[in-house]
Structure 1
Amino acid sequence: MEELSKQEVELLRILQKNARFDITDLTERLHMSRTSVYDRIKKLEQEGYIKNYAAIVDHKKVGLNFIVIVTVSLNSQRLDYVEEFSRQVAMLDEVVEAYVTGGIFDYILKVIVKDPEAFNDFIATKLSVIPNISKIKSSFVMNYVKQSTVLPI
């Protein structure tokens, strides 16, 4: 991929904060024509810089008040076991973020559910039944310090 221009970087910064842009505002801020702005956005999408557009939903407004950071250790780190665990975790709606990690744990998951009972059900019926798990540890989120989807580009 080619290096991004200053205008393209600024365009990404703006769109990260609000993808429901006003084209007139963008043309003024970037000193570009409407066509140029649309062309740059299309280019950034085609080259994979912009992966998707989404609404950020307030989890509390939809009744998902219980957030848990879950660490998982596997019995074996054989590639086929790791791939299978990753595949199964990716299918769980309650898991909103999942990371393969190095160090103490093999995975860190961010899980969002309605309440502690729903979390207990999630662990008992969905997560712990995945083969090759040796240890699951959980930390309950008390409050957000920072939550952002904006990358520091």
Structure 2
Amino acid sequence: MTDMLLSPTDIKILQILQRDASISNVQLAEKVGMSPSPCLRRVKQLEASGIIRQTVALLDRRKAGLGVMATIQVRLQRHTEEGAEDFAKAMNDLPQIMSCWAMTGRQDFLLVALARDIESFGDFVTHKLLSMPNVRDVQSSLVLKEYKNQTAIPVGHLAGG
């Protein structure tokens, strides 16, 4: 998919939808200078190609009662493919984990977690993460203030003509 080239109109559609996917097709068509039917066809093609993976609503974590955000570095005891896969699968089952990445360097995984408060975060780390069989140790850092947290990815480099 990295070799995919898109028209300038496709790029504009993607940029607009990443800012507001709830925009009507008529409004989207107006913004990109198309009539609604061809615009909808373009969006459907972008979905079929997989470049549009899904459409979601983004929630405000604080208004949802999740005041604590933290990054967590995890080191495993056994560095096997099976051990890493088992850990990653376990992370998918934990609602507190927003992101999970396998990493190079000192840590094996980097997690982003949410919790109601410091106490519930501490309980999560102590009773969930540290009790997992292959977890060697964890280091967490609390987010003090968000300066940038965006979901839109750059797409200008996909322009083909």
TM range (shorter): over 0.9
- For the residue of structure 2 that corresponds to 1:111, the secondary structure is strand
Aligned pair partner of 2:143 in 141, 144, 153: 141
Aligned counterparts, 1:92-103, within 5 A: 92-103=94-105
1:38 matched residue in structure 2: 40
Letter in 1 for 2:137: K
Question: What is the one-letter code of the residue matched to 2:103?
Answer: T
Partner of residue 159, structure 2 = none
Aligned pairs for 1:6-17 (under 5 A) are 6-17=8-19
Q: 2:133 aligns with which of 131, 134, 143?
A: 131
Backbone CA RMSD of aligned residues: 1.2
- 2:120 equivalent to 1:122: no
Q: Distance in 2 between matches of 1:12 and 1:150?
A: 9
% identity of equivalent residues: 30
Pick aligned residue for 2:62 from 60, 63, 68 = 60
Q: Secondary structure at the match of 1:11?
A: helix
Question: TM-score, structure 1 length as denominator?
Answer: 0.94
The one of the two structures with greater contact order (alpha-carbon pairs below 8 A, sep at least 6) is 2
Gaps of 5+ in 1: none
Q: Is the 8 A contact 1:88 1:130 kept in 2?
A: no
TM-score (norm 2): 0.90
Query: Shift in Å at residue 91 of structure 1?
Result: 1.0
**For each residue in 1:65-118, what CA deviation from the matched residue of structure 2 results, as whole angstroms up to 9, or x when unmatched?**
011110001112210000000000111000011111111211110100001110
Matched with 2:109 is 107
Deviations 1:4-25 (A, max 9, x none): 1111111101000000113333
1:145 and 1:106 mapped to 2: Cα distance? 26
List gaps (5 residues or longer) in structure 2.
156-161
Whether the 8 Å contact between 1:74 and 1:134 is mirrored in structure 2 is yes
Q: Is the 8 A contact 2:130 2:137 kept in 1?
A: no
In the TM superposition, structure 1's runs of 4+ consecutive aligned residues that sit over 2 Å from their partners are: 22-25
- Once residues 79 and 24 of structure 1 are traced to their aligned partners in structure 2, the CA distance between those partners, rounded to angstroms, is 48
CA contact (8 A) 1:113 1:119 kept: yes
Do 1:65 and 1:113's aligned partners in 2 also have CA atoms closer than 8 Å?
A: yes
